[in-house]
Amino acid sequence: MTPPLLTDRLALGLHRARATEFFWIEEVVAEVHERLKEVNRTFTDAAVVCGFPQMWPDFRVVADTEVLALQLGAQDLVVHALALHWANDLVGQLVQCRRALRADGLFLGIMFGGQTLHELRACLAEAEAEVTGGLSPRVLPMAEIRDLGGLLQRAGFALPVADAYTKTLRYRDAWHLMRDLRAMGEGNALAQRLRRPTGRRVMKRAAHIYQDRFAGPDGLIPATFEVICLTGWAPHDSQQKPLRPGSAVARLAEALQSAETPLPREKN
């Protein structure tokens, strides 16, 4: 049985076409350039998977469709820029990026993580349950960093790394935040979303809960964004390999200059 789709791609495309605020894309562009500076490598065949091609004038841009327009082994760098959180098949996207890389090619993926908008999600859920007695899909479920390193390995990447940082923006109120999300093209594009406008009572109650629970002394409310950065390499013989278990030539206790306490033997 085919699982239900997470994202309505048509709705997502319409939201992006109406976007007017590109703060987060600009942030990701800067983050990618900073990370590439730390890599002692010159890349000549780079591609960026992204929903906003106008923000990447120096790269070949590929739309983040279900099947990526990437050729097998054609790139030495693939960047997946702030689109993986909308993927219906996240592992499938990673696998396609891996196959597009030449040996020792680099993958960089930047996406929103599971702590993103946790304040808004909690307030909407509480308000809807209180007003209507039920819940409906409103905010995208996002991957947790503890799972993503394993997904990189599953997709065939060598030397996988997943790290994250958070940025907290402050808004006048929940209405201001939700308008900003729509302006970023990050409105509700869930395939299972309600197909009618949310009742005014739910939204007013959510805004009231947000203000009451999270507003600071200045009256502004915080909105947390977790940004997860994924790094992986297409395997190559020149890369570092993990040592075989039991092959160490020095003891950890000696390096730490501490006493070694053996574990008790199990009794049969």
Local confidence band at 260 (pLDDT 50, 70, 90 cut-offs)? low
pLDDT of residue 244: 60
pTM for this model (two decimals): 0.85
Grade residue 127 by pLDDT with cuts at 50, 70 and 90. Answer: very high
Q: Rounded mean pLDDT of 211-233?
A: 97
Q: Which tokens go with 68?
A: 């990526």
Of 168, 81, 83, the residue nearest 119 (C-alpha): 168
Domain that residue 179 falls in: 9-237
Beta bridge pairs of residue 73: none
Q: What is the pLDDT of residue 61?
A: 96
- For residue 237, the model assigns a pLDDT of 82
Report yes or no: 214 and 139 within 8 Å, Cβ to Cβ.
no
Residues 6+ apart with CB under 8 A from 106: 39, 41, 43, 76, 77, 78, 231, 232, 233, 234
At 148, which CATH number?
Answer: 3.40.50.150
Q: Is residue 61 situated within a structural domain?
A: yes
Q: What is the pLDDT of residue 263?
A: 59
% of the chain beyond a pLDDT of 70? 88
* 204 part of a folded domain: yes
Nearest to 147 by CA among 90, 225, 191: 90
Whether 263 is in a domain gets the answer: no
What's the rounded mean pLDDT across residues 136-148?
84
Residue 201's pLDDT is 94
Confidence grade of residue 164 (pLDDT, cut at 50, 70, 90): very high
Supply the mean pLDDT for the chain.
Answer: 90
Specify whether the CB–CB gap between 56 and 48 falls below 8 A: yes
- Supply the DSSP symbol for 240: -
pLDDT of residue 137: 79
User: Residue 267's pLDDT is what?
Assistant: 59
Instruction: Look at residue 200 and tell me whether its pLDDT is greater than 70.
Output: yes
Number of domains in the chain: 1
